[in-house]
Structure 1
Amino acid sequence: LKECLKLLVPPALILLGNEALKCYTCMGSNNDDCNRQGSKSCPSYSDACTVVVGHDSGVMKSCSYKSFCSQASSQGYRAPGVKVHCCYTDDCNVNNFASCLPRLSHWMLFLLLLLLLLH
């Protein structure tokens, strides 16, 4: 019995690991408008979800690649007012992360000041 389990476990793990990533894939004037279009299974070669937010052009969400995300974070985007966020789990791009960044930075600053005051 133990030998049979040893033979079955590795193929089962491979099958579980090959499920397609799910991402919101949409274009809209804002985050809610985009999300109404729903989530889809990505092609098997996609390994990231993205959110692209333009200053006046709305929101675009899609399946993407870690290599694209690495390049975007290391080189940045040349288009002014365009922000990109990547994530790597099912439906992780449901939020408009780019619009949350300023609020997060304010909270981080507040926590840093609080820590300094406590010491």
Structure 2
Amino acid sequence: MDKLVLWGIVVIAFLVLGRRLYQRFYDHTQPEHSIRVTVSGKHIKQFMGRSSKEETELPAQRQQFYVSFRARPGDQEQEFQVSEHLYEQLLLNSTGTLVFRGRRFIAFEPDDTSQDSD
């Protein structure tokens, strides 16, 4: 029974690793696209950090930042993980050019007029 559990864990680990490698290579082979979009949503996913058994304090939470873009009203949104810095700079409904390759976010170049709030 112990060997079965061990092999199950090994198989799952290979499947997860294989999927991540496949996605990385797939994205790398895709052409780079640039499209005009509007920022349609933003959200943060939080995860518990790791700690050792000796630590008595709770670890700091990790955060991942996501922004959704929409090319035209009625089109499906595309969501990408972005840096905290970019996440804080982007405003909902701002427009610009999204650059991406496969599922990988490359850049967002905002229009000059959509980011001005002064």
Per the TM superposition, whether the score is higher than 0.5 is no
Where is the strand percentage greater, Structure 1 or Structure 2? 2
Normalising to structure 2: TM-score of the pair?
Answer: 0.29
Where is the helix percentage greater, Structure 1 or Structure 2? 1
